A and B are shown apart, each in its own frame.
Chain A
Amino acid sequence: EVQLEESGGGLVQPGGSLRLSCAASEFILSDHYMDWVRQAPGKGLEWVGRTRNKANSYTTEYAADVKGRFTISRDDSNNSLHLQMNSLNIDDTAVYYCVRNAKGDYYFDLWGQGTLVTVSS
């Protein structure tokens, strides 16, 4: 089955770090632009960042709120995507989704189930 599965969420103290992973099944991740989107408890959706596909050198874009703190990377050997989150603060508490863009295009077509990150002392 074509799917995305996130992992790595959990409880972290303010100022701490966490690394999320997103494993892709039944498709080649490197062919697609990939995004991270988050949703704070009871709130709407917020874009976090993007990595372009291999053909576009995996270049990245980030939301202003996370630029310089979050880093998106890929592991082609494991067909996976990562989100390294540093200097976490309470406002980063959210469910984090990895999202695939349609092949050769720039719209979302497949979402993972999400992983919860809680930043609290």
Chain B
Amino acid sequence: DIQMTQSPSSVSASVGDRLTITCRASQDVGNSLAWFQQKPGKAPKSLIYGASRLQSGVPSRFSASGSGTDFTLTISSLQPEDFATYYCQHHKSYPLTFGGGTKVEIK
């Protein structure tokens, strides 16, 4: 199975900060990488697919990059509604696996 490792597992940041989350795959997943946002008590929301493509309706302050084994999700200027947990996931092969999550908290 492909293991997905996210870092950091949690981070405190302020509104307006630039934030980068990393995700590393244990094997090459090409660009078969997605990012999700989940707020407490809510279902996840799809943010990014194909490693760098924004889902429809996702604000442009979100961006992502990477291929192969190393990926990043960046929020250029944190907004109050961005405080949430973020997960990466590969869909290169079965089983699909998720990273452990990065919780973004307000400083």
Contact = CB atoms under 8 A, between A and B. Distances in A.
Given A47-B95, A97-B44, A107 B34 contact: yes
A109 interface: yes
A27 interface: no
B87 A45 contact: yes
Interface stretch (B12-20, B71-79, B97-105): B97-105
Contacts of A106: 32, 91
Interface residues of B, number: 23
Which interface class (under 10, 10 to 19, 20 to 34, 35 or more) fits A? Answer: 20 to 34
B87 A109 contact: no
A120 to B, nearest CB: 21
A55 interface: no
Interface of A: 35, 37, 44-47, 50, 61, 63-64, 97, 102, 105-114
Given A44-B98, A47-B89, 16 more contacts: A37-B44, A45-B36, A45-B89, A47-B96, A47-B98, A50-B96, A61-B94, A64-B95, A107-B91, A108-B46, A108-B89, A109-B46, A110-B46, A111-B44, A111-B45, A111-B46
Interface of B: 32, 34, 36, 38, 42-46, 49-50, 55, 87, 89, 91, 94-101
